[in-house]
Amino acid sequence: MLPQVPLYLAALSNWTQAPSSCQDLRIPVSVEKNAVGEFSHDAYTEDVLFALAGRKILVSNTYEMDARFCMPDNDQNPHADTLQLLVHGASFNKNMWDSELEPERYNWVRRMNYEGYPTLAIDLIGSGNSTFPDGLFEVQSQMYVETIHYLIQKLRKGEVDGRAWDRIVLVGFSIGGMLANALAEQYPDDVDALVLHAITWDKSWIYPAFLSGLQVSAAHVDPEKWGHIPLLYQTQSTREGRRVACFAGSYEENAVEYDFLMRDFDTLGAAITFTYLLVDAPQYTRPVFLGIGDRKYRVFNVSYGIQDFEKLTRMTEDSTFCGGKYCREQPWEVYRRFPNAASIDVKVYKETGHLILFHHSGLSLMADSLAFLSDHGF
């Protein structure tokens, strides 16, 4: 049974019927090579790794970024001038924000449209319906940063939907939040606020958690469905691997099944480089929100036997960013990473895994994100 919807949210259960208009867009975005040398799979050397570690762009190219723009029908509401740019995580796509499963619980886009915010949910290059270029030399973390920066410049100039946006809030989940961190370091004036979901700066558990997802080439996982996907694109091979990567604590099984069937891809290039996105951003001076899942603390009674102890200490967490221990001080590392932010708001959700939005905490995540925006005049 689903938990009772809090009273302060019960009145909003009709947000799935909120009048809004959506359109799918194809947005050209470009990057310029700044790495020294020529790169080829036929002549693969350590120079590739050095360039990636240096956060370089290895190939100049123009890509097609797929996006879904949704505008509330009431464009006179107080939030109509603030665009939420929604950036998904690795092995997700833009549909994670627009769930068809119980949208009254899991649909970020409809909730934000109900509140009056326009949204632009994008597929990162190499995900969803965007371009699928080389999965090592091109689809890597710095390319994500540069293409999002390019997109934001187009949004500011009115070259995407015909409106020049003065106020843009970047909402990023997982690697989407990590690239927002790097964007704030390299292009601190790009966006007016950051809403970061499911990241910390503790790198010790990122790769163990990533490997525990049992990712393999998508073309090998399901040749009939994904046989056309390049071999350097990968996804979780089993439901349990996906569960380990995304779920823990308080959630519904139908959310696990829905997420598994809707999963997307990431690439070898992104897997190699995504920790390089966790940086200090001292030049960023706008507000920051951070939401993260954490374990539920349980007290051990010394009168219990060892089996009872194991049950009591089987705690829940965001295994990618808070694995092996309580999050403890890690979420508050955001204060050190953004030392000059106008303000910082941190929310820690108990009994919640990595994919916060699809846990019972998802409703609170939406409410807290909205409160943060309202508090800062967005």
Superfamily of domain 22-204+264-375: Alpha/Beta hydrolase fold, catalytic domain (3.40.50.1820)
Q: Domain locations in the chain?
A: 22-204+264-375
290 and 326 Cβ atoms separated by less than 8 Å:
no
Note the pLDDT tens digit of each residue in 159-217. Answer: 999 999 999 999 999 999 999 999 999 999 999 999 999 999 988 777 777 777 788 99
Cα angle, residue 62 at apex, residues 56 and 66 outer, rounded to 5°: 110
Note the pLDDT tens digit of each residue in 124-162. Answer: 999 999 999 999 999 999 999 999 999 999 999 999 999
As a whole number, mean pLDDT of residues 274-286 equals 97
Q: How far apart are CA 63 and CA 55, in angstroms?
A: 19
Q: How far apart are CA 171 and CA 9, in angstroms?
A: 21
Average pLDDT, rounded, for the chain: 88
Tell the residue number behind the tokens 């009994």, with chain if given: 351
Strand, helix or coil for residue 284: coil
Note the pLDDT tens digit of each residue in 340-378. Answer: 999 999 999 989 999 999 999 999 999 999 999 999 999
Note the pLDDT tens digit of each residue in 75-110. Answer: 778 899 999 999 999 999 999 999 999 999 999 999
311 and 178 Cβ atoms separated by less than 8 Å:
no
The pLDDT value recorded for residue 328 is 67
| pLDDT exceeds cutoff 60 at 296 | no
Q: What is the pTM (predicted TM-score) of this model? A: 0.90
